[in-house]
Homo-oligomer: A and B are copies of this chain.
């Protein structure tokens, strides 16, 4: 078999996350969902993705509990795809990717879509990795415990 490698049984949480959302389209679908997209056609137009691919992705995202298929909010017979609590918990992931992209792949002053605080219209704080007692941590300040029975 030459099936794509899966990580859903890995002992590493990062691997299991990547298994659920780590392909080219899933994260962008989730981003659009945070941005208010709900309908098949909305995702399709926004992303420019082929319809069969979008169908497959929506299915796996529903299967992994990130999205949920619900009756359309406008009362029509169509269905909509909305974030579950598990999907909404991806918010820090999307924000982290957004901030990394802003800082590393745009020239100074180059226009780009921007996520802002709805109440004040201002940009968000950069995400910070903090220790239990609130110190800012850099990568070198942390280490991985290979396994733990929690």
| Chain A residues packing against B (C-beta within 8 Å) | 4-5, 7-8, 11-18, 20, 22-24, 27-28, 31, 34-35, 48-49, 65, 83, 86, 88-106, 108-120, 122-125, 127-135, 137-150
Query: Residues of B contacting A138 with CB < 8 Å?
Result: 88, 91
Bound CA span A42–B132, Å = 31
Nearest CB in chain B to that of A23: its residue: B24
CB distance from A17 to the nearest CB of B (A): 4
Do A96 and B93 have beta carbons less than 8 Å apart?
Answer: yes
Query: Residues of B contacting A4 with CB < 8 Å?
Result: 24
Do B13 and A144 have beta carbons less than 8 Å apart?
Answer: no
Do A113 and B12 have beta carbons less than 8 Å apart?
Answer: yes
Q: A13-B105, A15-B31 are in contact. List 12 more A-B contacts (CB 8 A).
A: A11-B112, A12-B113, A17-B100, A17-B104, A20-B104, A23-B24, A34-B139, A92-B100, A95-B129, A109-B149, A109-B150, A124-B142
Partner of A112, one of B13, B20, B31, B93: B13
Query: Residues of B contacting A148 with CB < 8 Å?
Result: 111-114
CB distance from A11 to the nearest CB of B (A): 5
Query: Residues of B contacting A145 with CB < 8 Å?
Result: 113-116
CB distance from A63 to the nearest CB of B (A): 13
